[in-house]
Structure 1
Amino acid sequence: MRKMMIRAALVALPLTMSVAAFAGTIADPVVERVASDKLAIRWSDADPVDLLQADRPDAPIANATLVAAGDKDGVREVQVAPGTRPYFLLRDSKSGAVTRVAERVLVMEQSSNFRDLGGYPAAGGKHVRWGRIYRSGGQAMLTPADVAQVKALGVANLVDLRSDEERLFAPTKLDGIAYNAVGYSMAAMMQGMKFDPKNMDMAKQAEAYAGTYRGMATQLKPQLRIVFARLLSKDGPLLYNCSAGQDRTGFVSAMILSALGVPRDVIYRDYVLSTPSRRPQYEVPPMSDAVAQSSPIAGMFAQMQKGGAMAKANPLVLPDGTPFLTYAFAEIDQKWGSVDAYLAQEIGLTPVDIAALRTAYLE
């Protein structure tokens, strides 16, 4: 059932980004892992398409291996080694236009909400590069195989958006990767939320979430400065996370995608993809009584585990379908006038920085 939910979300997302494929164009490419050793690649094109496979996100087509020539039905299954992550190039056989695509959601043994921001339409008719920017939930329960799989992605920097309390009772397993974090208390972030861990009904907790999202632009400024500094350093692929990989991580993703010129409706669709992509049981280790008593935040997480609140992911939308992320955008628009102004005034991004980001992370 969970694989079906992710598949539906992945398939629905690109369909809203493009019109029906015309001659010479490739539309709606999606890669889905249908088994540990099998991927399904789907696309739309009025022309036959050559499908090629590469082991690097930046591999030129000359270095890719031909999988199928002149494919007309828009779907192909490919055998792969478990734990590997290939990239695919789709070439229109008539126009020669090439589109790159890969798995968006990387489902490992004990990962949650681990995703690639690649492929989204961005400024200048370009798309976000695959294999350069990753977002995820907490990594405290990754298995050794999962850790090896993440390191195989070449991640150069990890930015942990979590609070002091979360990083203490659920430390990352990704040792050996440059680690970046800014200390703060989750209790301070949640002040005034009136958040009730015993009642996770989204309709009743809407105002609590609204207050949290309104404060993110201010509360996460230090973390955003680090994220953009690491992106501008171009050391290699970047990974950032919070516990669920949806709220704080969703806000940071929205700011990155905005800087790259990704339309806001696409940003919202990436944001809500967290719900089918999460596996909450792997975000925080089981909490002992001793750990639960170490801080109010640890106690809150323990209560959520015992009460079943972490058994499944709740939708990130109001009852009318409005994403919670709209509160953050509304706050930015009201206080700074635009995301561009916010990034310039509070994060310190100059027009030269924006141009450099788009050069490095768009293709």
Structure 2
Amino acid sequence: MKLQTVLPLITLLLAGTAHAEAVQAPLVTRTALDALTVSWSGREPVDIFLSDDPDAKPDDAKLVSKEDRDGTETVKVAAGERAYFLLRGHKSGDLVRVAERVLPLQQGSNFRDIGGYPAADGKHVRWGLIYRSGGQPLLTDADVKQIQALQLANLVDLRSGEERVIAPTRIDGVPYQAVGYSMSALTGGSVPKNGQGVYRNLPTMMAPQLRLIFQDLLARKGAIAYNCSAGQDRTGFVTAMILSALVVPRATIVADYHLSTTYRRPEWEMPKIDTVAQANNPVAMFFAKYQQDPAAAIPQPLKEADGTPFLSHAFDEVDSRWGSVENYLDQEIGVTKLDLAALRAGYLE
């Protein structure tokens, strides 16, 4: 894995594991199609357990290394297998769970788990329950099987009606939810310049979708996933609201948001558009322009020229109009303080 991928992950997780001195900065990277490497730092030997269950306890998991002192262990796994590691301080018993951040899909983009982040009361977001993603129109059969193995209870599509027609998801067998709206709500009828103009509109535009997602989260029927086309803007805002509800620090939320620049694969987000056949479809032609632009094949940093994250504009809109994310969730989305307490009880460990 590239260094620019590893370093943000270490930064993100270090803040959440410093309280458990035996195990600091745990990280899982895929070093081969059938191999994962878990790394960490700390003050004592570590026992490493492996399981395909995100809720597994050490007694229910496979011990793969005992009293490990070198800070790294590589484990063979089946290709596409979703694996969760438990790292336990051999002397202290301090326990940290960690998994691969992004699913290693063959033809997917930006499909990742938002578990593991530090949250309220010294806890962490549970792994294996909330996934964010880009579009899924070009998944391979193997990709579909890998996602089906997550046992998703709901998939919420944040895309416009036009996008969903042009690039329907390939994920089958999962309850599917969407709210119809036109792409013009996002673009204003023209090619938008990503940044303040788009992000200031997201708290209002994405409110119906957020209501669905929080209803699904509160129902606790199982893991959920949600996506837009790139998995970075609309999906980034929704993720920011979920993580804020779980009291994840805003700096960590923004760091997670910027991971889209690393994990996006634009070539798998939209089928190749036939500009002749779609000549009278303005939304199709809108995406065709991106496909014809070589620069669009490379994910661009999600920040202004001065370094301001685009996501900050959405937070500014929420803070200025509603006073806080909690007020926004209560007044606009219908998520009460009791709901927030239930979410934190269910999605933190």
Does the aligned pair in 2 maintain the 1:29–1:101 contact within 8 Å? yes
Query: How far 1:345 sits from its partner (Å)?
Result: 0.2
Map Cα deviations across residues 306-342 of structure 1 (whole Å, 9 max, x no partner). Answer: 1224311000012232210000000110000000000
Once residues 340 and 21 of structure 1 are traced to their aligned partners in structure 2, the CA distance between those partners, rounded to angstroms, is 29
Q: Secondary structure at the match of 1:252?
A: helix
**Distance verdict in 2 for CA 1:193–1:19, change over 3 Å:** farther
**Does the alignment pair 1:340 with 2:326?**
yes
Q: TM-score, normalised by structure 2?
A: 0.96
Once residues 91 and 18 of structure 1 are traced to their aligned partners in structure 2, the CA distance between those partners, rounded to angstroms, is 12
Once residues 311 and 61 of structure 1 are traced to their aligned partners in structure 2, the CA distance between those partners, rounded to angstroms, is 43
Match of 1:69 among 66, 69, 73: 66
**Does the alignment pair 1:11 with 2:7?**
no
Q: Secondary structure at the match of 2:172?
A: coil
Once residues 319 and 240 of structure 2 are traced to their aligned partners in structure 1, the CA distance between those partners, rounded to angstroms, is 14
The corresponding residue for 1:47 is: 44
Once residues 173 and 191 of structure 2 are traced to their aligned partners in structure 1, the CA distance between those partners, rounded to angstroms, is 38
The corresponding residue for 1:201 is: none
Query: How far 1:188 sits from its partner (Å)?
Result: 2.4
Query: How far 1:7 sits from its partner (Å)?
Result: 2.7
The corresponding residue for 2:128 is: 131
The corresponding residue for 1:34 is: 31
**Does the alignment pair 1:215 with 2:201?**
yes
Q: Secondary structure at the match of 1:100?
A: strand
**Does the alignment pair 1:188 with 2:180?**
no
Once residues 100 and 153 of structure 1 are traced to their aligned partners in structure 2, the CA distance between those partners, rounded to angstroms, is 17
Query: How far 1:119 sits from its partner (Å)?
Result: 0.2
The corresponding residue for 1:152 is: 149
Query: How far 1:182 sits from its partner (Å)?
Result: 0.2
Q: Secondary structure at the match of 2:106?
A: coil
The corresponding residue for 2:339 is: 353
**Does the alignment pair 1:100 with 2:86?**
no
Matches of residues 192-207 of structure 1 in structure 2 within 5 Å? 195=192, 205=193
**Does the alignment pair 1:299 with 2:298?**
no
Query: How far 1:11 sits from its partner (Å)?
Result: 3.0
**Does the alignment pair 1:85 with 2:82?**
yes
Once residues 99 and 277 of structure 2 are traced to their aligned partners in structure 1, the CA distance between those partners, rounded to angstroms, is 39
**Distance verdict in 2 for CA 1:66–1:146, change over 3 Å:** same
**Does the alignment pair 1:244 with 2:230?**
yes
Once residues 190 and 23 of structure 2 are traced to their aligned partners in structure 1, the CA distance between those partners, rounded to angstroms, is 46
**Does the alignment pair 1:268 with 2:254?**
yes
Map Cα deviations across residues 182-238 of structure 1 (whole Å, 9 max, x no partner). Answer: 00011122217762xxxxxxxxx4xx5211100100001000000000011111100
Query: How far 1:295 sits from its partner (Å)?
Result: 2.2
The corresponding residue for 1:198 is: none
Once residues 291 and 161 of structure 1 are traced to their aligned partners in structure 2, the CA distance between those partners, rounded to angstroms, is 26
Q: What amino acid is aligned across from residue 96 of structure 2 in structure 1?
A: T
Q: Secondary structure at the match of 1:58?
A: coil
Does the aligned pair in 2 maintain the 1:225–1:347 contact within 8 Å? yes
Once residues 20 and 219 of structure 2 are traced to their aligned partners in structure 1, the CA distance between those partners, rounded to angstroms, is 37
Q: Secondary structure at the match of 1:310?
A: helix
Does the aligned pair in 2 maintain the 1:193–1:211 contact within 8 Å? no
Once residues 227 and 220 of structure 1 are traced to their aligned partners in structure 2, the CA distance between those partners, rounded to angstroms, is 10
Does the aligned pair in 2 maintain the 1:292–1:302 contact within 8 Å? no
Does the aligned pair in 2 maintain the 1:49–1:69 contact within 8 Å? yes
Name the % identity: 54
**Does the alignment pair 1:113 with 2:99?**
no
Does the aligned pair in 1 maintain the 2:15–2:118 contact within 8 Å? no
Q: What amino acid is aligned across from residue 106 of structure 1 in structure 2?
A: L
Matches of residues 324-339 of structure 1 in structure 2 within 5 Å? 324-339=310-325
Q: What amino acid is aligned across from residue 74 of structure 1 in structure 2?
A: G
Please list every run of at least 4 consecutive aligned residues from structure 1 whose deviation after the TM superposition is greater than 6 angstroms: none
**Distance verdict in 2 for CA 1:291–1:216, change over 3 Å:** farther
**Does the alignment pair 1:319 with 2:267?**
no
Aligned-residue Cα RMSD (Å) equals 1.6
**Distance verdict in 2 for CA 1:291–1:133, change over 3 Å:** farther
**Distance verdict in 2 for CA 1:222–1:291, change over 3 Å:** farther
Q: TM-score, normalised by structure 1?
A: 0.93
**Distance verdict in 2 for CA 1:21–1:236, change over 3 Å:** closer
Once residues 291 and 9 of structure 1 are traced to their aligned partners in structure 2, the CA distance between those partners, rounded to angstroms, is 42
**Distance verdict in 2 for CA 1:356–1:19, change over 3 Å:** closer
What are structure 1's unaligned runs of at least 5 residues? 196-204
Once residues 293 and 164 of structure 1 are traced to their aligned partners in structure 2, the CA distance between those partners, rounded to angstroms, is 18
Does the aligned pair in 2 maintain the 1:21–1:46 contact within 8 Å? no
Once residues 312 and 250 of structure 2 are traced to their aligned partners in structure 1, the CA distance between those partners, rounded to angstroms, is 10
Match of 1:277 among 242, 245, 263: 263
Matches of residues 169-184 of structure 1 in structure 2 within 5 Å? 169-184=166-181
What are structure 2's unaligned runs of at least 5 residues? none
Once residues 15 and 116 of structure 2 are traced to their aligned partners in structure 1, the CA distance between those partners, rounded to angstroms, is 14
Once residues 190 and 12 of structure 2 are traced to their aligned partners in structure 1, the CA distance between those partners, rounded to angstroms, is 32
